[in-house]
């Protein structure tokens, strides 16, 4: 199993749910000193952790995936690391559930090339980085396409059964025209984006901080993170119809979905949190998923583009609001 715990890290920069805001992400990365004006990694001894929900509710997730994949490759040269956690929107989209995705996302993902080597054309990169905000803000408002939830629930088992259910149907042809089918294929665990995403974690520990998209309760948190992460990866690669009653990644109290510590804080939940933190030897848990004034501040365009980041260093913590 791959390691899910990292110690002796000089600086941690955590970014919450992006929901397609590529321009906002670039602004945050520039402001925190993680990338240069050409869009390349420059920070020494620093771990960037993005808490999931890169996609969903519009925006340009394809551009974000491509940039994070690039930074993931560049960071080790600076004794640094990029962590991309799986959120509930990744879990849904990779399982074929696209009720929260939009035509804007379908189009953006289809335009990205994730196979060819990433070019290092500095002049081209600087033009792109400096113009992303205006191009993003000028994007039209798109409407969501029909849900696939019922198709998935009624189609038997396996992705092939889903495809047979949709094949040659009016819904299939409509979704193909909208770009939905290509989007689903790209996000599937064997697709050009899903194959990369499926290698990532649901929770990690960096120094004395536990990071997870939704939250970790007793049911899922009192076990080594390596086991939890491997469980979710196996679910994603099972090629089976998703089951919200069985799959950890889709359970309401699972690491991708739990909101108890943000929406229902009380003494009982405080004791549960303390038990999970003590088990992992951590002092705090940092979560996204639920829009608050903390780390998930509503960075996505659909939430108001409230840009923020959390910086953790050995002697102090600070919040950045743009």
Which residue ranges form the domains of the chain, and what is each CATH number? 5-321 (3.60.21.10)
pLDDT value of position 174: 56
Residue 183: both structure tokens together? 């989007």
Report the C-alpha gap between 24 and 208 in whole angstroms.
28
**């509710």: which residue's tokens?**
57
Sort residue 286 into left (φ over 0), alpha (ψ -120 to 50) or beta: beta
pLDDT value of position 27: 97
Residue 316: strand pairing partners: 313
Asked if residue 44 lies in contact with residue 76, where contact means CB atoms within 8 angstroms, the answer is no
43: which residues sit within 8 A by CB, 6+ positions away? 11, 32, 33, 34, 35, 75, 78, 80
270: which residues sit within 8 A by CB, 6+ positions away? none
pLDDT in tens, the chain (322 residues): 789 999 999 999 999 999 999 999 999 999 999 999 999 999 999 999 999 999 999 999 999 999 999 999 999 999 999 999 999 999 999 998 888 999 999 989 888 877 544 445 444 333 444 443 333 333 323 233 333 333 333 333 444 555 555 455 655 555 555 678 889 889 998 899 999 999 999 999 999 999 999 999 999 999 999 999 999 999 998 877 788 889 999 999 999 999 999 988 899 999 999 999 999 999 999 999 999 877 899 999 999 999 999 999 998 899 999 9
pLDDT value of position 131: 42
């Amino acid at each position: 199993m791959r390691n899910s715990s990292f110690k002796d890290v000089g600086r941690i920069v955590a970014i919450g749910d992006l929901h397609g805001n590529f321009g906002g992400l670039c602004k945050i990365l520039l402001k925190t000193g993680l990338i240069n004006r050409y869009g390349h990694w420059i920070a020494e001894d620093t771990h960037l952790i993005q808490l999931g929900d890169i996609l969903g509710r519009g925006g340009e997730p394809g551009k974000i995936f491509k940039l994070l994949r690039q930074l993931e490759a560049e960071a080790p040269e600076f004794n640094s690391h990029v962590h991309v956690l799986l959120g509930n929107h990744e879990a849904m989209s990779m399982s074929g559930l696209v009720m929260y995705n939009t035509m804007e996302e379908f189009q953006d993902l289809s335009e990205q090339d994730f196979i060819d080597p990433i070019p290092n054309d500095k002049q081209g990169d600087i033009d792109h980085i400096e113009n992303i905000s205006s191009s993003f803000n000028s994007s039209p408002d798109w409407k969501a396409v029909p849900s696939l939830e019922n198709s998935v629930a009624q189609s038997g088992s396996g992705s092939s059964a889903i495809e047979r259910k949709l094949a040659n149907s009016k819904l299939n042809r409509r979704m193909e025209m909208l770009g939905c089918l290509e989007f689903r294929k790209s996000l599937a665990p064997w697709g050009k984006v899903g194959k990369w995403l499926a290698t990532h974690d649901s929770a990690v520990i960096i120094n004395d901080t536990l990071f997870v998209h939704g939250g970790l309760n007793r049911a899922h948190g009192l076990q080594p993170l390596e086991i939890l992460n491997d469980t979710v990866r196996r679910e994603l690669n099972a090629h089976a119809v998703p089951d919200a009653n069985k799959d950890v990644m889709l359970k309401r109290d699972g690491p991708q979905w739990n909101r108890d510590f943000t929406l229902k804080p009380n003494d009982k939940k405080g004791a549960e949190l303390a038990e999970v933190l003590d088990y992992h030897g951590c002092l705090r848990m940092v979560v996204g998923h639920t829009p608050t004034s903390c780390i998930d501040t509503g960075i996505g365009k659909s939430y108001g583009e409230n840009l923020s980041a959390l910086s953790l260093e050995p002697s102090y913590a600070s919040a950045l609001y743009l």
